[in-house]
Amino acid sequence: MHRDVKKIIGDIKSLKIQGARNVAKAALGGLAIAAKNSKAKTASAFYKEMRETADLLSLSRPTEPMMRNLLDEGLHFIEQRMKQMDISGLAKLIVNHEEETVKKMDDDAKHLAQYGAKLIPDNALVLTHCHSSTSTKILIEAKKMRKKFSVVAFETRPRYQGRVTADELARTGIDVTLAVDGAMHLFMKKADIVIVGADSVTSRGDLINKIGTATLAHIAKSNDVSFYSAAELSKYSPMTIFGTREKIEERDPKEVWDRAPKKVKIRNPAFEATSAKYINGYITEIGVIPPESFFAMATQKLGIKLYE
């Protein structure tokens, strides 16, 4: 495996690369690097190498269907053309797929941000959790629309991704406060809207996102505050169609307590599921849609055929 691909895998695992869109872009770049540097002698050997590389990239962050979906899309292209093209042609397909997909992702994010910004009322208090480039784009777009609002970003222990969000928003001139996770209920009393990102969306419309998201959604519901998730349709998880659950990544306990007493057990789940009933809507590249519509819209966009 090329050293640059190994580095991408390591950076995704260590959270140097984080956020579903950033992870997906990095993985597509890794597959393109592997394609350009392949030493395969036959088309079938090339496809096998690309499949193995895509699998390793996917395993670097189990709860990222956007990455899996887009990698699978690229593999599907070369699988269909293996008999008609030589290896250099197949490699070019992978490289072109990366370039075109990244451009489409950026276009989708722009449209999504415009739809999301319209949801933010003037003089609103917006709550958010973890770091989502998709969510921050919404807030930045709202500022460009000259809306007046403030944001409370929760720190998101144990890796403190909320600091990334707070810093990013502050640099654009947005009024932002970083708060401890335990203060969710306190700030919800004055909140007008909650906007979070998404790592995955299931066939039932449930949201898989950073641990703490479900708590925030429950508190929002009990305080009659609207809760939205910014999620491109490619974040849909096809494996949930027949009841398979998204794998919840459990990270190193040392992230929570480096030198914990031997008799203390530590759990460090990175993600959790938030039921669709707590979600007012998903902000997507085609508009704001209810959770129960995400499945139909996503399968249509991704070209998933349930019955053939």
Residues designated catalytic:
130, 199
**Cα–chain center distance at 122:** 27
Query: What are the φ/ψ torsions at residue 165 (nearest 5 degrees)?
Result: -60, -50
Sign of CA dihedral 278, 282, 288, 291: negative
For the sheet containing 200-201, what is the strand order? 200-201, 207-210, 271-274
- 3-state SS, residue 207: strand
End-to-end CA distance of the chain: 36
Structure tokens given for 92: 């070019």
What CA–CA distance (Å, rounded) separates 210 from 65?
14
Give the C-alpha distances (Å, rounded to integers) separating 300 from 47, 59, 286, 290, 291.
26, 26, 12, 16, 15
Helix (H) / strand (E) containing 235: none
Strands 207-210 and 200-201: antiparallel
HSE (side-chain half, CA atoms, 13 Å) at 288: 17
DSSP bridge partners of 201: 207, 236
Report d(CA 134, CA 196) in Å as an integer: 9
- The four Cα atoms 64, 69, 71, 72 give a dihedral, to 10 degrees, of 140
